[in-house]
Amino acid sequence: MSTFDVPPSRRGTGSLKWDKRPELQPFWVADMDFPSPPEVIEALHHRVDHGVFGYAVPHDDLVDSILAYLAKRHGASISADHLVHLGGLVPALSLAGRAFADPGDALLTCTPIYPPFLNIHRDASLELITVPHMLEDDQWVFDWDSMETAVTPGTRLFLLSNPQNPLGRVFSEEEIIQLAEFCDRHDLILVSDEIHCDLILDEERTPHFTALRLPDKYAVRTITLLSPSKTYNIAGMGYAYAVIPDQRLRHRFASKRGHTLAEITCLGYHCAEAAYRHGESWRRELISYLRSNRDLLTAFCREELGKVTIPDMEATYLAWLDFRPAGIPEPARFLEEEAGLFLSDGRFFGGPGHARLNFGCSQVLLEEALESIRKALGKRT
């Protein structure tokens, strides 16, 4: 039995995932049920034992662990002064909008997409331009022609999710370079959210190509956003960072923080360091477990349900399910009412008729959910 098979009970612990709708089984927000690596928990105990929790700054060992991680995992040679430490990536998206666009300008992104991508334009009074990804040879890709048509003279940023949430795509090196060329041609800042980059389910088949490895000529317009939070299940610790090699770009980004971002806690800093320094063995075990869950879910949809479709999920623990072939236009509400399940509503991602299912849970719980979906759909026939 895997250590991931018996996660602790989270009900009644103040968990957003479990306690927001306690009457439902939760498969929604991107938060796994598994305890973080033992080394992370040990590092937190050690820091708590110190007993003083004043204002904190990123300590040298944290910075060293980030630089070593970027070099080893992603082949990126980064200097410490390229880092901008943040309390989360959603605030970073908002900050980028305020830093690089003026009211009335526009930002561009492709849908379906993580919901904050579709809302942060309001923080800077920007226009939102969206272009749907298109399905080509059973793979979700960029619709380059539509992107060329959609971009305007007032467009200032492109927001990228890679690996893509919720589609689970790991974009290839060729696709990312083509996107960088697109941004260069239209003078756009490329903001690459890579928070799921360590959750690739088959790294040999679909390796991650980070924006940090783009040719130097694109670095002057590229911001890469990263965090150990999703991989090591430490999102509640509130730590992320931006990597911005270009000094001018970095200064504009950092100068717009003002007084709008919260302080980062000392526990968040130490938690991140421990994850990067000691979490690799645990991460590999996690990927194996998630791959098994992905395969179970994919086979169930394709072989048992038939009319509920699922793309080839290359990364993340978040599956994008299309219920439109089953004649269910509002699947999240349907599953809530008929199956007692809480999934993320595809409408908020720009994908009505879809629901996003979090399979970062025990396989037993996933199997129970799939059986509930089967029964709910069976009532309609």
pLDDT tens column, 274-327: 999 999 999 999 999 999 999 999 999 999 888 899 999 999 999 999 999 999
Q: Tell me the per-residue pLDDT of 25-73, one tens digit each, with 9 for 90 and over.
A: 999 999 999 999 999 999 999 999 999 999 999 999 999 999 999 999 9
Q: Phi and psi dihedrals of 314, rounded to 5?
A: -85, -20
Mean pLDDT for all residues in the chain: 96
pLDDT in the model for residue 300: 96
What does the block give as tokens for 40? 């992370």
* Secondary structure class of 106 (helix, strand, coil): strand
Q: Delimit the domains of the chain by residue range.
A: 16-31+280-378, 53-278
What does the block give as tokens for 227? 């965090």
Q: Tell me the per-residue pLDDT of 151-196, one tens digit each, with 9 for 90 and over.
A: 999 999 999 999 999 999 999 999 999 999 999 999 999 999 999 9
pLDDT in the model for residue 64: 98
More confident residue, 29 or 257: 29
pLDDT in the model for residue 17: 98
- As a whole-number percent, the residues of the chain with pLDDT over 70 amount to 99
Architecture of the domain defined by 16-31+280-378: Alpha-Beta Complex (3.90)
Please give the average per-residue pLDDT across 342-349, as a whole number. Answer: 98
- Cα 362 to chain centroid distance, Å, stands at 20
pLDDT exceeds cutoff 90 at 90: yes
pLDDT in the model for residue 260: 78
Give burial (CB, 10 Å; 0-12/13-18/19+) of 74: buried
* Secondary structure class of 161 (helix, strand, coil): strand
Cross-strand pairs, 148: none
Give burial (CB, 10 Å; 0-12/13-18/19+) of 83: buried
Helices (H) and strands (E) in the chain, counts: 12, 13
Please give the average per-residue pLDDT across 102-121, as a whole number. Answer: 98
Quote the CA–CA distance of 186 and 234 in Å, as a whole number. 37
Quote the CA–CA distance of 275 and 279 in Å, as a whole number. 5
pLDDT exceeds cutoff 80 at 256: yes
Q: pTM for the whole thing?
A: 0.97
pLDDT exceeds cutoff 80 at 381: no
What does the block give as tokens for 236? 């509640």
Quote the CA–CA distance of 341 and 369 in Å, as a whole number. 7
CATH for the stretch 53-278: 3.40.640.10
Cross-strand pairs, 161: 193
Instruction: Name the DSSP class of 124.
Output: G
- As a whole-number percent, the residues of the chain with pLDDT over 90 amount to 94
- Cα 80 to chain centroid distance, Å, stands at 24
